[in-house]
Amino acid sequence: MRNRNRHLKETGNRVVYGRTSIRGVITDQTCPSCGASLVYSDEYMAYCCLLCNTWLEDSCGNSECEICLTRPDTPLPGPPEGCSL
């Protein structure tokens, strides 16, 4: 049984979590904080945990990198929803 993925759903090229979704895929890697599967964001080319709503990678260090410049502070807008499960 793989309970740790129950919050995450892949739909087409998006990963749905609660009422929100991001463009990306569910990976085999797990979050060091909560143990959920990490999601790889196609949009920002970085791993993130949607349950913790954090990026697992710092920006690449290039101050002119457009991907890092446009990457929001958290993968999902606002605090995570649907955490009451």
Residues that bind Zn ion (CB under 5 A): 31, 33-34, 36, 49, 51-52, 60, 65, 67-68
Q: How far is the CB of 5 from Zn ion (least distance, A)?
A: 12
Residues 55, 40 contacting (CB under 8 angstroms): no
Residue 57 and residue 38 in contact, taking contact as beta carbons nearer than 8 Å: no
Nearer to Zn ion, 12 or 58 (CB): 58
DSSP lists the bridge partners of residue 55 as 48
Question: Which residue's CB is nearer to Zn ion, number 34 or number 83?
Answer: 34
Tell me if 10 sits within 8 A of 66, measured CB to CB: no
* Cβ 45 to Zn ion shortest distance, Å: 8
